[in-house]
Amino acid sequence: MRDSIRFIRNGRMVELRDIAPTALLLDYLRETEGATGTKEGCGEGDCGACTVALGRVRDGKMTYEPVNSCIQLLGQVDGCEVVAVEDLADRDGELHPVQAAMHDTHASQCGFCTPGFVMSLFTLYHAEKHPVSRSEANDWIAGNLCRCTGYRPIVDAAVKVTADPATDRFSANASDTAGLIGFLADTDDIFIGDSDRFFAAPSSIETLADLYEQHPDATIVAGATDVGLWITKQFRDLPKIIHIGRARGLDHIGDTGYELLIGAAATYAQIEPHFRALDPDLGELLRRLGSKQVRASGTMGGNVANGSPIGDTPPALIALEATVELRKGKRVRSMPLEDFFIEYGKQNREPGELVIGLLVPKMNASHIFRCYKVAKRFDQDISSVMGAFRFTVGEDGAITEARIAYGGMAATPKRAKNAEEALTGTMLRDSRAWSRAFAALRDDFTPIGDHRASARYRNETAHALLGKALIEAAGTASTRTRVVGHRVVA
């Protein structure tokens, strides 16, 4: 058992004890270190002014990933290298290549957002793909908000700095840094505090399950992209925090050839290439889920476990017949994901029972899948309506099964069973069956209106998304039905 967290700063190990369960990385950097280059903007992971880079060893290589330090718990950085904007320039004052590119392209005006952009571009600079296109650069900085400069010169800086491979001192010292991170790696459970107030990060699934069974009132944290806002915006007192990110094997993604096995601690960034290989729309869904910072921390297991009716991934997972696996102590059980969601704020989960993984079946040649996210903003926004559709079509063109799931249409992610029934057994191109399905959809949902969308808008959008899915499934190219996110045909 270890009663401290340890991480790397500027080539040296930092060890902290007696940290508060809800201590945030941003506050540590600014208030303890005095590293005030990292800014606090929105306090909820939306503007990117607080972006820092976390260095980890993945697949034997040093990697740098952007995170929002305003919602990153300090305890989550155990075992990582933490890089802030002050760390980039050389000691003799020579700017880092990213900083020089920002300067040369006139990519900063007021400068408040600049440190966050610099850190996002620092992680892009250390990404494997060089050079990058303007669209790829746009994706990378989608989680950074600029209020005055405008994005064109910032993208210019991104393209300029990635024209050649990374050659900074972080690249030169990658082997030494990886060695330091390896030195920090251990199999100790972390427990800081006492039985009434603690931050814990168990090192195995077994000790994680045992601890949560003993403290069912604790808050489980994976990426903190949701829980972080409970702290910064709702001002909740969370006396007991259990972080699942250190549990060995819980971030595993397995491929049996027939299904994907996704551990609850696997991040969206880790899952994205596997989902894109399942279907282009799944890759597009994850591309639009949050930002690079959010996807580097957030997990699909957390998206499921928090039970939000507007979570992006549950409708797609339900349409794919995904199964959720839960554990309480030594007992493990599984169920169809659609049965996990009972009502608003309530899941089919006992006290002390946690989500440990998801099983996602792969599709076969008879399946046609589509999913669409509708939000007020294209990038980094919560869905107003999310629709996912999987049609099983026989060689004769008949729909033998339809699975249609929506988010934002009810108190939980929910299937449109009346619409499914209206389509099952009909010919895919039968417009009369489509009309019956549209009519049946009105009986499937009675959505509410809120600040994201009115009830009428949600009903009409759900209707339109089903129509789009059917039109595309019947053979119309996505270049005719979509403005962006076209499906690439091999």
Domains by residue range for the chain, with CATH:
97-167 (1.10.150.120), 367-478 (3.30.390.50)
pLDDT the model gives residue 490: 44
Provide CB contacts within 8 A for 464, sequence distance 6+.
none
**Helix 97-104 crosses helix 114-125 at what angle (to 10 degrees)?**
120
Question: Beta strands 5-9 and 12-16: pairing type?
Answer: antiparallel
Query: DSSP assignment, residue 94?
Result: P
The reported pTM is 0.95
The count of other CB atoms within 10 Å of the CB of residue 432 is 10
Q: Measured between alpha carbons, how far is residue 82 from residues 77, 149, 216 in Å?
A: 7, 27, 31
| The one-letter amino acid at 442 | R
CA diameter of the chain:
74
* Residue among 131, 127, 104, 102 at smallest CA distance from 117: 102
Tens of pLDDT along the chain (490 residues) come to 999 999 999 999 999 999 999 999 999 999 999 999 999 999 999 999 999 999 999 989 999 999 999 999 999 999 999 999 999 999 888 999 999 999 999 999 999 999 999 999 999 999 988 999 999 999 999 999 998 888 999 999 999 999 999 999 999 999 999 999 999 999 999 999 999 999 999 999 999 999 999 999 999 999 999 999 999 999 999 999 999 999 999 999 999 999 999 999 999 999 999 999 999 999 999 999 999 999 999 999 999 999 999 899 999 999 999 999 999 999 999 999 999 999 998 999 999 999 999 999 999 999 999 999 999 988 889 999 999 999 999 999 999 999 999 999 999 999 999 999 999 999 999 999 999 999 999 999 999 999 889 999 999 999 999 999 999 999 999 999 999 889 875 4
Q: What is d(CA 458, CA 446) in angstroms, rounded to the nearest whole number?
A: 9
Output the DSSP codes for 33-84: I--TTS--SSSSSSS-TTEEEEEEEETTEEEEEEEETTSSBGGGGTTSEEE-
At 241 the three-state DSSP class reads strand
